[in-house]
């Protein structure tokens, strides 16, 4: 094990984590920008610590030469979703990319087939191409997709496993299992009203985009020296904002956007 140059060995995994985070955050941001619901709430990632790699290699009887081929989660991405249904939508996104910028090696559905401990999540192991200073390299990475409730439970379980060195006392294991069931019950309840939740979130997102666009256009009018128009629109916006009148804000948005485009055409 000591023969591995860990700093050099982990560089491709660090690149993979950063690239994958950008890819999935871009999907989320693009959907939100166009006013669509995003099944991706947020994305995190990490490269496994050397001590954890060594421990897993020892546990699986993996030799130093086999680590890159047999340890699947040195690079790890975690995607959080609001609803269980969103998890499978994200899985479909990843399947659509299979053969393009990644290759799916293995899928593990721990939601339909949850572990005895109560652990729930959807795992995909992928082969991901990285371009390094020494040439191209395909590495294994794991993508975990969970709801926020599943993630909260999993973080607590992980901490307890670390504290008790994988030997969690039976009475705590029982309570964890009950907590896992309660967390999934919460996910099921949220799924029952997801239509109303999504509609409310979409309404908020659309309104936020309209307000942002109006203010940017007013600023453009100020910068181009059209102070009267800018002041008039600012006063109208302030009144509508106080009234929380979204329909009138949409009308104002169309009007100012049309005027701004007209001035840009003349210039």
Beta-carbon-side half-sphere exposure of residue 93 (alpha carbons within 13 Å): 19
Residue 206 has pLDDT above 70, yes or no: yes
Is-contact 91 122, C-beta < 8 A? yes
* The pLDDT value given to residue 264: 64
Quote the DSSP letter at residue 83.
S
What's the pLDDT tens digit per position in 97-134? 998 899 999 999 999 999 999 999 999 999 999 988 77
What's the pLDDT tens digit per position in 167-204? 889 899 999 999 999 999 999 998 888 778 777 777 77
Residue 10 has pLDDT above 50, yes or no: yes
pTM of the model: 0.76
Interatomic CA distance for residues 212 and 249, integer angstroms: 11
* Mean pLDDT of the 66-87 span: 95
* The pLDDT value given to residue 17: 97
Which of 126, 151, 159 lies closest to 42 in space, CA to CA? 151
Catalytic residue among 142, 205, 255, 267: 142
* The pLDDT value given to residue 47: 97
* The pLDDT value given to residue 258: 84
Residue 142 designated active-site: yes
What's the pLDDT tens digit per position in 213-242? 899 989 888 888 888 888 989 998 998 888
Give the helix ranges, DSSP H, for the chain. Answer: 6-33, 50-59, 67-70, 84-97, 148-163, 170-192, 194-223, 227-243, 246-266
Total residues belonging to the chain: 267
């Amino acid at each position: 094990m000591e023969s591995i140059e860990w700093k050099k060995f982990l560089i491709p995994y660090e690149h993979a984590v950063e690239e994958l985070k950008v890819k999935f955050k871009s999907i989320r941001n693009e959907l939100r920008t166009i006013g669509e619901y995003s099944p991706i709430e947020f994305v995190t990632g990490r490269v496994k610590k050397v001590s954890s790699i060594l421990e897993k290699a020892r546990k699986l009887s993996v030799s130093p030469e086999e680590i890159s081929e047999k340890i699947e989660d040195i690079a790890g991405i975690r995607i959080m979703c609001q609803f269980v249904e969103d998890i499978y939508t994200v899985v479909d996104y990843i399947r659509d990319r299979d053969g393009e910028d990644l290759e799916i090696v293995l899928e593990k559905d721990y939601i339909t087939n949850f572990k005895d401990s109560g652990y729930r999540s959807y795992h995909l192991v992928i082969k991901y191409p990285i371009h390094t200073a020494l040439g191209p390299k395909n590495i294994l990475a794991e993508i975990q997709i969970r709801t926020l409730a599943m993630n909260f439970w999993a973080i607590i379980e992980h901490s307890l496993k670390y504290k008790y060195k994988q030997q969690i006392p039976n009475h705590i294991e029982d309570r964890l299992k009950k907590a896992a069931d309660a967390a999934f019950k919460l996910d099921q309840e949220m799924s029952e009203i997801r239509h109303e939740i999504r509609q409310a979130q979409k309404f908020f997102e659309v309104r936020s985009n309209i307000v942002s666009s109006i203010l940017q256009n007013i600023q453009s009018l100020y910068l181009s020296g059209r102070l009267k128009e800018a002041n008039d629109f600012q006063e109208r916006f302030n009144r509508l904002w106080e009234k929380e009148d979204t329909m009138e804000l949409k009308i104002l948005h169309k009007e100012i956007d049309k005027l701004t485009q007209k001035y840009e055409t003349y210039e």
